[in-house]
Structure 1
Amino acid sequence: MSDILALRPRAEALGQALPPLMASAEHLAATVILGEHGRRRAGMGDEFWQYRPAHEGDTARMIDWRRSARSDAHFVREREWQAAQTVVLWVDASRSMSFTGDRSRESKADRARLVALAVAVLLLRAGERVGLSGEAAPPRSGRQQILRLADALADEAAADYGRPETTGLVAHGRMVFLSDFLGDMAGIEAAMARAAERGVRGALLQVLDPAEEAFPFDGRTIFESMGGSIRHETLRAGDLRARYLERLAQRKDHLATLARASGWHYHCHHTGQAALPALLWLYRALERVG
């Protein structure tokens, strides 16, 4: 538990390197909730945005007579659209995410949790509602939600490989999957299909260890899943490299194609890199969704 809570200051420090993220809003009519920030578009809210010339159909009540008195035209006072977007995160907690190819390098799970918390800091700072899929930390706003998310991220799954959880999706909201995506693709496809049915869009962030990307194995090698359910021994691991890299490339292409078809964005991040590039990518990806 202490290790997970220790991620919070690191996540907040990472989040401070970026301006607050405002998740794109699409089809908000079904899930509009008044938030704490503006959308820079006309709509509901209390904050003044701009004056615009009155159009045919505008009622007399909409006219700002004080501003209009300073010119020969009538003007309408517009307010900003203030609607909080709901963003749900799924962070893979399966055994495979605990892998690291070097003891001096953090595991895939630690990196995924760090980036997830940093994204949550940005979203919550912007007034969004953020939560985790499932029932452990439903979407809420406010800084206290960071503690709830950190506590929920302490849970680990017994399965070798993760299967995206879509419980708690909000229609026309946003979602982020953070995983190595090395398990059964059928589970990922099913989750994406459920999200599409509810008009949910978002991002897939694949987190891999450099060893999984380069396959630096040769000679006699025993490959075993982190949970021990899969085991393979070979005397010539080097002979598997070409086939492994081909299958990994095919999986990445499948994920990218699946994301494009669903209006999502896909990116692969390595734990050998700094965490900031992954956060920057998520910032831009969620900004483009819509």
Structure 2
Amino acid sequence: MPHRLLNPQTFAAIKDLRLVAKAVVDGFLLGQNQSIRRGAGIEFAQYRSYQPGDDLRQLDWKMFARSDRYYIRESEVDSSVAVRFVVDASGSMAHQDGDLSKLDYARFLVAALAYLATQQGDAVGLFILQENQLVQLAPQQGSQHMQRFFHQLSHVKPNGQFPAADRLAPVFARKRQREITVLVTDMYEQTTEISDTLRKIGAREKDTLLFHLMGRNELEFNYQGQLQFQDLETGQTLQLNPDTQREAYLQHLQTWLQALETETRKKQIHYERFHLHEPLDKALRAFLLSRARQ
């Protein structure tokens, strides 16, 4: 059951993002703690394993980092951090693999992480990036702020190209000493606009996570027959036979992916790649590890 709640296909038809987020987070934490037993080195006078319904503000991040398990700390919560979610909503995020688009997956991913962060007591902000507009909600706490957060995330539609880095000053503005930035994108760029943005974010903030979304059909290029492909941002079309191009495509793709991951990690940015049918536990785990370092 918990693993099913992490599968984006399970909740694709649910419109209430907050409900989706709560189900994902509860399923994830429950699944991680089903096999917890008492053992040496755990101070049970102060800690107990997470159970559904527990106040997530008492979840102990540092205990997670040490033990890879989720424990409730029956003491005061540490001071909060600000978590800035930066979401690519350019036209390429409309790419679909089955019933899900990249932007659908990004919605579920960001909603779950934001819910987890706010329940812990952190402030969350949302920056949705498109060619002709920038949706920005500065990191805050509170129920009204979260209503706006989920509303904006629910209603955004992919459109246009990724904006140039010089138009994104609000994304780079720093207001707190303790911040985490999460950039969710498919890294589809016309020149180097996303790479430039990532470089600026990485230079500004030591705790930056890049969640790179791709369709499994992109990763495997499992198309058949003579097809016409269209660039979702420029409208340009290309006719080709995938069977004759698959080997060369996959070689170029692996070269690009390896270079991207290497360059990202050189900048000390945490890199994770996801395909659109992949459960969300990897993203939640990466976020928790980053949060534990604060």
Q: Same fold (TM over 0.5)?
A: yes
**Equivalent-residue separation in structure 2 for 1:125 and 1:223 (angstroms):** 43
**Equivalent-residue separation in structure 2 for 1:94 and 1:193 (angstroms):** 19
**Equivalent-residue separation in structure 2 for 1:240 and 1:178 (angstroms):** 29
CA 1:80–1:7: 2 relative to 1, 3 Å: closer
- Aligned partners of 1:97 and 1:107 also within 8 Å: yes
**Equivalent-residue separation in structure 2 for 1:288 and 1:89 (angstroms):** 17
**Paired residue for 2:181?**
175
Percent sequence identity is 22
SS of equivalent to 1:139: strand
Task: Say which one has the larger Rg.
Answer: 1
Find runs of 4+ consecutive structure 1 residues off by over 6 angstroms: 36-40
Q: CA deviation at 1:260?
A: 1.3
AA aligned opposite 1:6: D
**Paired residue for 2:120?**
126
Write the deviation string for residues 169-228 of structure 1: whole angstroms up to 9, x where unpaired.
426521111111122461222112222332342111111111111101243111112345
* Pairs within 5 Å for 1:220-235: 220-227=226-233, 229-234=235-240
**Is 1:95 matched with 2:91?**
yes
Q: CA deviation at 1:113?
A: 0.6
Query: CA RMSD of the aligned region, Å?
Result: 3.1
Which of residues 250, 254, 264 is equivalent to 2:255? 250
**Paired residue for 1:186?**
192
Q: Structure 2 length as normaliser, TM-score?
A: 0.68
**Equivalent-residue separation in structure 1 for 2:76 and 2:28 (angstroms):** 23
Unaligned 5+ runs, structure 2: 1-12, 30-56, 63-72, 128-133
SS of equivalent to 2:260: helix
AA aligned opposite 1:208: M
**Paired residue for 1:287?**
291
Higher helix share: 2
**Equivalent-residue separation in structure 2 for 1:288 and 1:261 (angstroms):** 21
AA aligned opposite 1:257: T
**Equivalent-residue separation in structure 2 for 1:265 and 1:184 (angstroms):** 23
SS of equivalent to 1:136: strand
- Aligned partners of 2:82 and 2:123 also within 8 Å: yes
**Equivalent-residue separation in structure 1 for 2:222 and 2:119 (angstroms):** 42
Q: Structure 1 length as normaliser, TM-score?
A: 0.69
CA 1:39–1:227: 2 relative to 1, 3 Å: closer
Which of residues 84, 107, 121 is equivalent to 2:101? 107
**Paired residue for 2:148?**
148
- Aligned partners of 1:127 and 1:142 also within 8 Å: no
**Equivalent-residue separation in structure 1 for 2:292 and 2:82 (angstroms):** 16
Q: In the comparison of the two structures, how many residue pairs are matched? A: 232
**Equivalent-residue separation in structure 1 for 2:164 and 2:187 (angstroms):** 8
**Equivalent-residue separation in structure 2 for 1:9 and 1:262 (angstroms):** 36
- Aligned partners of 1:4 and 1:151 also within 8 Å: no
